[in-house]
Amino acid sequence: MSTALLRVQDLTVVFGARQALRGINFELACGETLGLVGESGSGKSTLARAILGLVRPARGRVEFLQQNLLACTSMQMREVRRDLQIVFQDPLSSLNPRMLVGNAIAEPLIIFEPALDALARRQRVGAMLERVGLAAAMADRYPHELSGGQCQRIGIARAMIMNPKLLICDEPVSALDVSIQGQIVNLLLDLQRDAGMAMLFISHNLAIVRHLSHRVLVIYGGRIVEVAPSVTLFDSPLHPYTQVLLAAIPAIFGSERAHTGDGRAPAGAAGVLPDAAGEADIGCAFRHRCRFAVAVCANSVPPLTQIAPGHWAACHRARDWQSNAGALSL
């Protein structure tokens, strides 16, 4: 029997004429932090929402704790949410402005531990606030009285109060000041080490993903284009798109790489994401931005292929880069 906590198979999401996800496959082990990177519009949030049952996929399967989530009733899904939580990008808008933050954090306790009395609940909330680096007295404040970083700590406290087995973080620091981002990332890292939950950490910022993740998925145009252990991905990326992302790493967390400041692709590599459903179904979706494209790239979609143990890439030329280390320099 597999030890995967989460298994996503052939997940495909369509919005009208646009395919946001195209046959996504991956597994996430208990306690593992999996980074998910890709530029804006590549399908990261759609993947998070589809796992949580907030978007209905056209095709595919999401298995969590050996349960097929797409077949769950809303009651069953509510039970699953005890173990499957999310931290959103915008901390303020993810909290109810009229609800004391202590009550927001306590909400999952009311649902999942109804026998708990008010005093015990308040103690659990106070302990959780302290665990995320805030004073227990913060429970009596409203969201608008708090800073962005404090609001995100509240969002994390609410997500963590039931000790979930999987925490999905969808760009949890992108809306925060750069000075606060590192603190929140380190808080998530501490919580992950203490609680041992798995994390799906979504970001367009590879520096942060490198800091946190055991393994990284790179997504482009709704497809996974590279998967590797974090160290391997950063030291020897195989997909030309991953190279573009690496060249754009902002110089935080001590990165020596050149950066453009916003974590996006550098000038010269800029291009549009594949849009029309047909284009990306005929050839490699990255071919118009790829300086290594050859004839086959225009007429055949490169399958995600294991090039080395645990290192997968969807590029017709991935074996060229692997057999000629250093040849792939953009």
For CA atoms 128, 129, 134, 137, give the dihedral sign: negative
CB of 93 to ligand ADP, least distance (A): 15
Q: Which is nearer to Mg ion, 55 or 293 (CB)?
A: 55
| DSSP single-letter state for residue 140 | G
Q: Which is nearer to ligand ADP, 109 or 208 (CB)?
A: 208
Beta strands (DSSP E) in 209-259 are: 215-220, 223-229
- Answer yes or no whether residue 45 interacts with Mg ion by CB under 5 A: yes
From the CA atom positions of the chain, what is the Rg in Å? 21
Q: Which is nearer to ligand SF4, 35 or 240 (CB)?
A: 240
| Site stretch for ligand SF4 (CB under 6 A), options 7-15, 58-66, 196-204, 292-300 | 292-300
What one-letter code names the amino acid at 314?
A
| Cα–Cα dist 29/238, whole Å | 23
Q: Helices marked H in 277-328 — which ranges? A: 277-282, 295-299, 318-323
- Answer yes or no whether residue 321 interacts with ligand SF4 by CB under 6 A: no
CB of 171 to Mg ion, least distance (A): 6
Would you give the distance in Å from CA 55 to the centre of its chain?
16
- Answer yes or no whether residue 316 interacts with ligand SF4 by CB under 6 A: yes
- Answer yes or no whether residue 293 interacts with ligand SF4 by CB under 6 A: yes
CB 217, CB 37: distance < 8 Å: yes
- Answer yes or no whether residue 38 interacts with ligand ADP by CB under 6 A: yes
- Answer yes or no whether residue 94 interacts with ligand ADP by CB under 6 A: no
Contacts of 325 (CB under 8 A, 6+ apart): 236
Provide the binding-site residues for ligand SF4, judged by CB under 6 A. 239-240, 284, 286-287, 290, 292-293, 297, 302, 315-317
Provide the binding-site residues for ligand ADP, judged by CB under 6 A. 15, 18, 20, 38, 40-46
